Amino acid sequence: MKLLLDQDVYFSTARFLREAGHDVITAGEIGCSQSSDSHLLNLAKEQGRIFVTRDSDFGGLVFVKGLGSGVIYLRILPATLDSVHKELRKVLMSYSEEALKKAFVVVEHARHRFRKL
């Protein structure tokens, strides 16, 4: 899957996704670490990528303002890293890339919620 990671996503999560074979770019790698949230969402949509973040503000941008496309919101802390990565793997294997591009998915310890946009 093609993913764009927000600047707040842990480096270990980027490595985890790359090792799983996903096409991952980070906001920092493309010079967008200081970009606005709306710019990042639109960039992900333009590039056909699913946006991955730890920032809960993206729910409002997606649902209230109708910006961007698919978002995976990680509720992750260093103490829950392994269990959230396990659930993230489950999400990426359970849903197609096209389905995820049309959804807001909250991934947390041992569960996830999938909401169509």
Round to whole Å and give the CA distance between 107 and 36: 23
Query: What is the Cα 102 distance to its own chain's centre?
Result: 12
- Looking at residue 53, its pLDDT comes to 95
Round to whole Å and give the CA distance between 13 and 51: 13
Write the pLDDT tens digit of every residue in 3-17. 999 999 999 999 999
What is the dihedral angle through the alpha carbons of 71, 112, 110, 108, rounded to the nearest 10 degrees? Answer: 40
- Looking at residue 1, its pLDDT comes to 96
- Looking at residue 24, its pLDDT comes to 98
Q: Which residues in the chain belong to E strands, given as ranges?
A: 2-5, 23-26, 50-53, 71-74, 103-108, 111-116
